[in-house]
Structures are given as structure tokens and as C-alpha cells.
Amino acid sequence: MKPLLPLSSALELIDTTEAQEDFLTKYPLGGDFYRAVGSDEIPGFDFGYLIARRDGVREAVVPYFITNFKFCTMLDDGRLSHALGELGLRIACVGHPSAPFGCVDGKVSAELFEQVFAMLKTRAPVVCMKGFGPDLPVPDFVRVAGLPVAVLQLHENFWETLKSHRRNFQRKRKAASMLRYEVTEGLLEQHLEQVYRLYLNSYNQAKMRFECLSQAYFSATAHLSHYLLVFMGEQMVGFVQMIRKGSSMIAFYMGLDYTVDGKHGVYFAMALRAVDIAIANGCSEIELGETNYSFKKNLGCDLVNTWVYYRHRNRFANWLLARAAFLLTPSENALS
């Protein structure tokens, strides 16, 4: 007779507001980023971590945030969006509001997510998972498509081997020939107000708005970042915050002066220059974000699909949530 295997003990969750020192150390948006960004940096969001242990051994760390989600967030500006106004629900969401990809540090399982749901539903009526793949083990959750993330694979002599649309990119560089660029490690105090003003310009122009950063965000993450600053004469007209870990780079938050962009193509010039910087730093890939997909596909980006999962703590409300999934799905305008 084979000896009986000991039964594993139950998974236990510990709720904390502190990110572990070894949390997501391999990711550009890892523990250092999570520790730097909190409610002061993104007002209206509360952050936490669920540490899963079994027999005293850590199996996973699940980052989450809590905020009020407006139903009009994913809709184009129109009658329905205006009618919904400020209507929304409080949500507890696994992931980070700024990170396009959701990450759990450790072992992922249906058991883990069932316990995560049981704990987070006491904090908000809707629990969701943001930026994950299509096969997350979360029974009873409503799955909807999220925003794809444009990821560009880089290699030696990238521009020389890029035949399609190459002339178009050369024209964009020529249109931007009056612009001047600076790349800085961190962010000088003298540039902080200008960067934040340009960020708000782009935030207010965005087709879809979720989190709104405070100026404190740019101070708190300066030590993690490089900045591409764009000038017309002495006036700053654009910036890109870039965060790197190993061979991966993220062209993260950006902002620009739209009165200059129309004539000189500041946005396109910044994107092309960000690729130049990634190549010069020996990166094998760069994330270019979740907007202007047509341009990024022409550049050669892969659009990596993401998914968002929702579950209401009330079964009937969860059934209704499934029928109203169109309110939670990005519009065609946002995907262009």
C-alpha cells in the first residue's frame, strides 16, 4: 500500500499596504515603481497587496487598487456618455492603474483568485483583474477585451531593414527638423512644471481617461526614469517618460503642445526618437503604449491583446454586468 500523501493546508491571505522588497524585480514597472507610486501620486486610488502563504511559505503577491470607476470611461464622447455622467461603481482591481499588463508575483491558481475575490469583495462591490491574458483561472468573472499594448521588437540595423513605410517615417523626421531633443536621467526640478502642463494637455485630449496623475508622480518616479524632452527654441513642446529594466524599455507617459504638433509632428517625432534611444541602449524591445495603433502597426509593432475580468459580489448584479459588458469594452475610436 502506498503511503498517504499529507494534505496541503489552506492558502492564507495577508492584506498589506507595503510592496515586498523582492516584488516583481525583473519588470520595468516592478517593485521600485509600485513603492514610488501611491495615492499622493494618483489621487482617488488606494493601493494594497495581498500576500498568499501556505504553511508559512509565500506563494504569491497580488497587487490591487481601489477606486471609483465611471461607466462613461470606455465610451466615446456622445449622448450615452453624457447621460451616464458621473455614474459608476466602486471597484477593487488586481493590477496597477498605470501598468498596461497585469502581474501577479508567484503562483497563479483558481484557488488564489477565489480567495482574492472573497477578500476584495468586502472592499468594493465589483472585483476585477486588469491587463491579463485570455486564460486567467477566474470562474464566474465576466471577461471583456482590454486595450492592446503596442510592443516593438528591436534588432541590429532596425531602420535599415524596415522597408515598409520607411519613406513615411523619413518625411515625419524631416517635418520635425526644427525640434531640439534632450535626453535626461531623471527629471530636473526646473522642468517639472512644464512636464506636468504638457501631460495635462495630453490627458485632456485623450479618447479614454482613467487615472489622472498629480505633479507629485513625476517627482516620485524621477529616479526610475529617463526623459526625452522636446523643444522648439527654448520652449518645451513635448516629453516622453521612459523606464527601462534590462533589455526592455517602456515609453510611458507623454505630453505635448498641440499648437506645435500639427505643423511639426511632435508626437510622431517623439515616438521615432524613443525607438532610437532604445536601440542605442541595446534594448531588444520597447513598449509604445495603447494609442495611435495605425502608426505603431506601420512601425512594425505587435499589438498584444489584454483582457479585463469583472465580477460583482451579488449574483444577479453579476448577471446584469455580463449583459452590460459593452460599457466596459474599449470603443472602436479608442482602438484606432
Over 50: is that where the pLDDT of 3 sits?
A: no
- Would you place residue 71 in the very low, low, confident or very high pLDDT band (cuts 50, 70, 90)? low
5 lies in some domain: no
Could you tell me the CATH number of the domain that includes residue 27?
A: 3.40.630
- If one compares 273 and 168, the residue with the highest pLDDT of the two is 273
- Would you place residue 21 in the very low, low, confident or very high pLDDT band (cuts 50, 70, 90)? confident
- 90 and 69 share a domain? yes
285 lies in some domain: yes
- 161 and 221 share a domain? yes
Please report, rounded to a whole number, the percentage of residues in the chain having pLDDT higher than 70.
Answer: 90
333 lies in some domain: no
- 113 and 253 share a domain? no
- 163 and 130 share a domain? no
197 lies in some domain: yes
- 76 and 96 share a domain? yes
243 lies in some domain: yes
Task: Count structural domains, the chain.
Answer: 2
SS (H, E, C) the chain: CCCCCCCCCCCEEEEECCCCCCCCCCCCCCHHHHHHCCCCCCCCCEEEEEEEEECCEEEEEEEEEEEEEEHHHHCCCCHHHHHHCCCEEEEEEECCCCCCCCCCEECCCHHHHHHHHHHHCCCCCEEEEEEECCCCCCCCCEEEECCCEEEEECCCCHHHHCCCCHHHHHHHHHHCCCCEEEEEECCCHHHHHHHHHHHHHHHHHCCCCCCCCCHHHHHHCHHHEEEEEEEECCEEEEEEEEEEECCEEEEEEEEECHHHHHHHCHHHHHHHHHHHHHHHCCCCEEEEECCCHHHHHHHCCEEECCEEEEEECCHHHHHHHHHCHHHHCCCCCCCC
Average pLDDT over residues 141-152: 92
- 178 and 96 share a domain? no
- Would you place residue 182 in the very low, low, confident or very high pLDDT band (cuts 50, 70, 90)? very high
Residues 80-124: tens digit of each pLDDT = 565 565 667 899 999 999 999 999 999 999 999 999 999 999 999
- 173 and 190 share a domain? yes
- 239 and 195 share a domain? yes
pLDDT at 105: 94
- 109 and 197 share a domain? no
Could you tell me the CATH number of the domain that includes residue 266?
A: 3.40.630.30
- 293 and 162 share a domain? yes
334 lies in some domain: no
238 lies in some domain: yes
63 lies in some domain: yes
Containing domain of residue 125, as a range? Answer: 12-145+305-328
Average pLDDT over residues 20-26: 87
